[in-house]
Amino acid sequence: MATLTKQQIGSVLAKQGILIAFVIFMIAFTIANPKFLTMDNVFSVVRSSAILGVMALGVTFVVISGNLDLSVGSMMSFSTIVVLDLHDKIGPFMAIPAMFAMTLCLGAFIGFLVGYLRLNSLIVTLGMLSAIHGLTLTYSGGQNMDIADKEGTWFSVFGQGTALGIPVPILIFIALAALLGLTLAKTPFGRKVYAVGGNGTAATFSGIPRARTVFFCYLISAACVATAGLIQASRSLGSQNTVGQGLELEVLAAVILGGASLLGGSGTVFKTVIGVLILGFIQNGLLLMGLQFYIQFVVTWVIIILAVWLDIAAKRGKLWSAIA
């Protein structure tokens, strides 16, 4: 029997570590609580992951293009508050496109700063996280937003409805994942996203419009955030100003868990979906084990660190190295 060297074990761990960890988690959870792997529970995990998932789809484009988007959490709060407010003012039929237009404007602004002005995306979107939060609070005057007639609006369909027995949020998630998955994997635009993230200079030298490509990635991200805001608003029909707070990190964790490199140029929509589910199952498992809800913030952080570490380790084929 061949003995594995320390280095080989390290290399396997680095490449498959997150899957191994996930399987161990799943087994441990199932033993701890047999309810974990029931259909009901699986369904509930997917449904509660849909909002995070929709946002992660958009951020996948941004990350593959070699950038970050930390503004999606507060942007989602913005979308939710805006659509709820406009619902009573101009009716849901007009409120939805109006909210999408406003959210896309925010995305276009970020895309302009990062794509055309070539500003560092971390700084820009970290700033926007705070700026959009301020914008939301200004808009709402700091008040929670509620729909007056919660029983009589068709608006609740996006968050609470079902079609063919499947909750609408899951259907939206699946449809959007299919659409964006095809866009990324099969269209010329998708190819350009990989090229720009893989080597922006070489993409430029091949006539690829780098700035425009990055710009559209942020626009896609904003469209996904608007969709997530719509689901959120429709599900609760009322909201605080901070409903999306902290989601930016969870979204990023899901994208990285799926295997997209923070350096850009790699990752797929399908892998991001897996990442979203892993995160959802782990959080759900912790709850079923009877741990406090608040512990999941700590666990999410641990998972992010683990994922980033493994991402880098996979690149250099070692868990630790002094150079490169």
Q: Which two tokens stand for residue 317?
A: 């084929």
Interacting residue with other proteins among 191, 240, 306, 308 (CB under 8 A): 191
Interacting residue with other proteins among 192, 193, 224, 258 (CB under 8 A): 192
Interacting residue with other proteins among 198, 240, 270, 308 (CB under 8 A): 198
Quickly count: other Cβ atoms within 10 Å of residue 317's Cβ.
13
Is there binding between residue 208 and other proteins (CB under 8 A)? yes
Interacting residue with other proteins among 33, 41, 153, 199 (CB under 8 A): 199
- Give the nearer residue to other proteins in terms of CB position, either 138 or 201: 201
Element (H, E) at 36: none
Helix, strand, coil % over all residues of the chain, rounded to 5:
75, 0, 20
Is there binding between residue 201 and other proteins (CB under 8 A)? yes
In degrees rounded to 5, what are phi and psi of residue 240? -85, 170
Q: Are 109 and 291 in contact (CB under 8 A)?
A: no
HSE-CB at 217 with a 13 A cutoff on CA atoms is 34
- Give the nearer residue to other proteins in terms of CB position, either 87 or 271: 271
Interacting residue with other proteins among 7, 143, 206, 321 (CB under 8 A): 206
Cα gap 80→247, rounded to integer Å = 14
Interacting residue with other proteins among 194, 215, 216, 218 (CB under 8 A): 194
Interacting residue with other proteins among 70, 195, 307, 313 (CB under 8 A): 195
SS3 annotation, 287-315: HHCCCCCCHHHHHHHHHHHHHHHHHHHHH
Is there binding between residue 6 and other proteins (CB under 8 A)? no
Is there binding between residue 205 and other proteins (CB under 8 A)? yes
Is there binding between residue 15 and other proteins (CB under 8 A)? no
Site residues (vs other proteins, CB under 8 A): 182, 186-188, 191-192, 194-195, 198-199, 201-209, 265-266
